[in-house]
């Protein structure tokens, strides 16, 4: 078998650039169906340029007052996301409880609520305002790599204990600064580690949009609702991910339901990543019933240097073009156009 | 650094101390009477400080270093629970991690009185 070198791929890209590139942008892949961080923005169909994320009650009050002109006007084109649990202090929540939360604790500590208003949302057929409310939480948060967590925690404990002694004994500033630097480095490593979850992770989200044509309250109606559920099982050894996503969108104005159900299996070993992906789409009519299935291969031969290949079937389109055949390369210089071959 | 300086009225029985670092953050706490270190670790739970009658006039120093492992909140909170004195008391200190900072030191000093 001929080896596909980066140079060969670049030549192919140069020779065939421009063929079918536009069609790729309309594809819906599995990642687009995953539980969104802010479901309300997805349902509204807008990407707000700025999202307020107050983390204290004082900041929340300040941002609401500022957006509403001291409660005189309804905010327009406004987006806010709040984690209600973290608006107050939790003196009894220990490090151990935070890392091993039960179901109720996980729901509380990962809940985020998003609220947005838009005057340019696609759900509006006329001028007016669309208002959305959404929530997202982790039903199961998985776990942190226990061995790495214990090792880093033990190192941090040692440094913190040395800092306590240094303060008690009025140690020289240089000694205290050196310990503080070590604490800083270990804490940031722990922060990164706890973000990297393993095991069974379940993310759920839901949202609702109400449209107010001509800004008349009496005209207000629920326009779109959505529910997401993403289940992941992640293993470290062997390095494998199983992902199951489901999404339900109810579009009231179009009298249409859309249900997506998909899965992905990824196996990674020594820079090589092999994955298979399937998304089935069901709807109110037979025309909505379609599916997408792809196989993906990715090889990283150096830091930041990748070659990727995808082959499969896309959702049915009016053009009848459903073949997906992509080869891409990233040499670490930035984004290189992806080669697309379509029938 | 956040500090607390108060007095704690003793009784004749054993005095114990529990220190809880909240908000899911990681902290280690040193407990000392005068210059004698009684403990220095992450779990200070019902630590025996001594007999009330023997501690009169002493100073109980509690030094904690807390790191922001949980980035969901910028807040660190610590609760001190001395027990066995004239009455049970809970003292709380909290502080925000400054921008770019991931650690805070708390120092609580209890003057142990009759």
Asked if pLDDT for residue A265 goes beyond 90, the answer is: yes
Cα A96 to Cα A75, A79, A171, A183, A306, distances in angstroms: 41, 34, 31, 19, 39
ipTM of the predicted assembly exceeds 0.90: yes
pLDDT of residue A23: 34
- What are B50's two structure tokens? 């001594």
> Which pLDDT tens digit goes with each residue over B55-86?
999 999 999 999 999 999 999 999 999 999 99
The set of residues, in sequence order, having a beta carbon less than 8 Å from that of A160 and lying 6+ positions away, is: A183, B26, B27, B28, B65, B67
Best-predicted range by mean pLDDT (A29-33, A265-269, A338-342): A265-269
CA distance A192 to B69: 9
Pairwise CB contact (< 8 Å): B103 & A92: no
| Chain A contact set for B103 (CB, 8 A) | 180, 183-184, 187
| Chain B contact set for A83 (CB, 8 A) | 72
| Chain A contact set for B104 (CB, 8 A) | none
Q: For B61, which of A86, A168, A186 is closest by C-beta distance?
A: A168
Tell me the residue range of the domain where A289 lies.
6-340
- What are A316's two structure tokens? 């049915």
CATH number at residue B102: 2.60.60
Q: For B79, which of A91, A99, A184 is closest by C-beta distance?
A: A91
Name the pLDDT band for A118 (thresholds 50, 70, 90): confident
pLDDT of residue A83: 92
Asked if pLDDT for residue A206 goes beyond 60, the answer is: yes
For residue B67, give the nearest of B109, B18, B101 by alpha carbon. B101
Report chain A's mean pLDDT, rounded to a whole number. 82
pLDDT of residue A338: 52
The answer to the question of residue A1 being in a domain is no
pLDDT of residue A337: 53
Higher pLDDT, A70 or A302: A302
The answer to the question of residue A28 being in a domain is yes
- How many domains, chain B? 1
- How many domains, chain A? 1
pLDDT of residue A339: 56
| Chain B contact set for A89 (CB, 8 A) | 22-23, 73, 75, 77, 94
The answer to the question of residue A307 being in a domain is yes
> Which pLDDT tens digit goes with each residue over A141-184?
888 888 999 999 999 999 999 999 999 999 999 999 999 999 99
Supply the pTM of this predicted model: 0.77
């Amino acid at each position: 078998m001929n080896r596909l070198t980066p140079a060969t791929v670049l030549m192919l890209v140069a020779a065939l650039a421009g063929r079918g590139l536009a069609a790729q942008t309309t594809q819906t892949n599995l990642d687009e169906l995953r539980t969104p961080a802010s479901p309300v923005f997805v349902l509204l169909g807008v990407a707000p340029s700025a999202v307020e994320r107050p983390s204290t009650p004082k900041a929340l009050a300040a941002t609401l007052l500022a957006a509403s002109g001291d409660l005189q006007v309804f905010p327009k084109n406004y987006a806010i996301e709040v984690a209600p649990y973290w608006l107050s202090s939790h003196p009894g929540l220990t490090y151990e409880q935070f890392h091993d939360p039960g179901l109720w604790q996980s729901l509380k500590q990962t809940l985020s609520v998003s609220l947005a208003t838009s005057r340019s949302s696609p759900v509006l057929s006329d001028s007016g305002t669309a208002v959305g409310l959404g929530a997202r939480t982790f039903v199961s948060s998985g776990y942190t790599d226990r061995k790495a967590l214990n090792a880093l925690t033990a190192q941090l404990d040692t440094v913190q204990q040395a800092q306590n002694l240094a303060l008690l004994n009025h140690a020289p500033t240089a000694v205290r600064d050196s310990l503080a630097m070590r604490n800083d480095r270990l804490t940031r490593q722990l922060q990164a580690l706890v973000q990297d979850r393993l095991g069974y992770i379940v993310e759920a989200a839901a949202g609702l949009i109400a449209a107010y044509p001509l800004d008349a309250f009496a005209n207000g109606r629920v326009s779109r609702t959505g529910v997401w559920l993403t289940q992941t099982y992640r293993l470290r050894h062997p390095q494998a991910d199983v992902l199951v996503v489901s999404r339900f969108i109810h579009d009231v104005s179009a009298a249409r339901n859309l249900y997506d159900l998909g899965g992905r299996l990824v196996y990674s070993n020594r820079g090589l990543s092999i994955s298979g992906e399937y998304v089935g789409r069901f709807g109110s009519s037979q025309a909505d019933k379609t599916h997408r299935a792809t196989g993906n291969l990715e090889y990283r031969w150096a830091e930041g240097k990748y070659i990727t290949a995808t082959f499969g079937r896309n959702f049915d389109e009016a053009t009848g073009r459903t073949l997906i055949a992509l080869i891409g390369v990233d040499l670490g210089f930035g984004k290189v156009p992806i080669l697309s071959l379509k029938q | 650094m956040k500090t607390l300086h108060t007095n704690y009225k003793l009784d004749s029985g054993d005095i114990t101390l529990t220190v809880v670092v909240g908000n899911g953050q990681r902290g280690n706490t040193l407990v000392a009477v005068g210059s004698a270190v009684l403990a220095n670790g992450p779990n200070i739970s019902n630590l025996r400080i001594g007999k009330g009658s023997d501690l009169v006039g002493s100073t109980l120093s509690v030094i904690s270093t807390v790191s922001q492992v949980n980035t969901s909140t910028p807040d660190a909170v610590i609760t001190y629970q001395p027990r066995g004195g004239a009455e049970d008391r809970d003292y709380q200190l909290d502080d925000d991690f400054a921008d770019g900072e991931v650690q805070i030191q708390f120092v609580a000093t209890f003057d142990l009185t009759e």
